Amino acid sequence: MTLLTLKPKSHNRVRNGHLWIFRDELAPHEPLQAGTLIRLHTDYGYDLGVGVYHPTSQIAVRLLRWQNESLDGFFEQRITEALQLRARLFPTEPTYRLVFGESDFLPGLIIDRYGDYFAMQLLSAGMDVRKNEIINAIRTVFPNTKGIIAKNDSQLRVKEGLRTEEEVVYGEIPDEITVTENGITLSISLTHGQKTGYFLDQRRNRATVAELSNGLSVLDCFTNQGGFALNAAKGGASRAVGVDISASAIERCKRNAELNGFENCEWLKDDVFDYLKQQAQQEAKWDMVILDPPAFTKSKANIPQAKRGYAEINRQALKLITNGGFLVSSSCSHHIAEPMFLEIIEAEAKRINRKLKLIQRGMQSPCHPIYVPMPETQYLKFFVFEVR
């Protein structure tokens, strides 16, 4: 196995548990192919473990194993360990993120479980060249696997020099899969849905909305497949309206409401920015407004533009909320830190003379655990405010 060495004074972050080694942290070495297993040492000879080399990425090495851990049955062991946690968290509903990359010590790999079906993303060259090993490991850990789809359409693959693609890599994937979350039946599509089929990171936060919704009128913006609105309906909302610009998403919302017999749901195809402005102009009032937009930025360069977007939707939402109602606001943009996001909302409330009480602070669902030495694994911000 090829030995790579860190430059002097480059070891502290890695010895503290971080799994990434950047290109400028490595001492000069011979050219290596993508996915090559390497052993990593500090400049003074300390063994940091085994990693995967990436020749075109700024992240030159992603660590897989520490010191003398064996690589025998590596993927089966890691997936089994990940399953042990999820089985404790969600013992009766096998709908969750099974593997969350670095947080499950499988950097560059995402696996979502929907019962006996699995959607995976191979986000690094090191994982891509081991696709068949990963497929076999899933089938070993889950003998009843019916289908696995690789949803490799992320732009992160482009940075790794990989092509984007989507393919069924084992078994069959039906057009519709029915699963349950928070006691709600959901129809999802792994072949046509966004990312890996469903946004599982908001699971616990959707349950929070259900707890607060009894008797309230609820507006769910960027509803996607209806998750928050459906939970509000289950929680007893007098009216739950979901808005999304995607026609296919709205059709999926209607299907999900029908599956659960929810008659208090309405679905609108519209641009959320335009819809919020129209509602404000009409002086409409809602007891709860939920904002769960897609990421407004995926790079530091676009932070100012993203801040303007968050400011706009939160300001318009605050205009609509009844006295004593709730603003539920979320951001999945990693580059918008929690203090910055809170500051944006506070500024917009002050601007239109609304008073906020923060009553709930959430994060990504526990099936997306945060690996403490890597702040990069924390990305979702979720706030619930009482508005006066």
Catalytic residue annotation: 332
Dihedral of the CA atoms 79, 84, 89, 93 (nearest 10)? 70
H or E stretch at 253: helix 247-260
Q: What does DSSP assign to residue 138?
A: H
**Whether 346 contacts 310, CB under 8 Å:** no
DSSP secondary structure letters along 19-54: -EEEGGGBPP-----TT-EEEEE-TT--EEEEEEE-
How far, in Å, are 64, 154, 164, 236 from residue 196 at the CA level?
A: 23, 10, 14, 29
DSSP secondary structure letters along 153-171: --HHHHHTT---EEEEEEE
φ/ψ (deg, to 5) at 24: -75, 0
- Provide the 3-class DSSP secondary structure of residue 193: coil
Packing angle, helices 227-234 and 203-212, rounded to 10: 40
How far, in Å, are 74, 133, 271 from residue 70 at the CA level?
A: 8, 16, 52
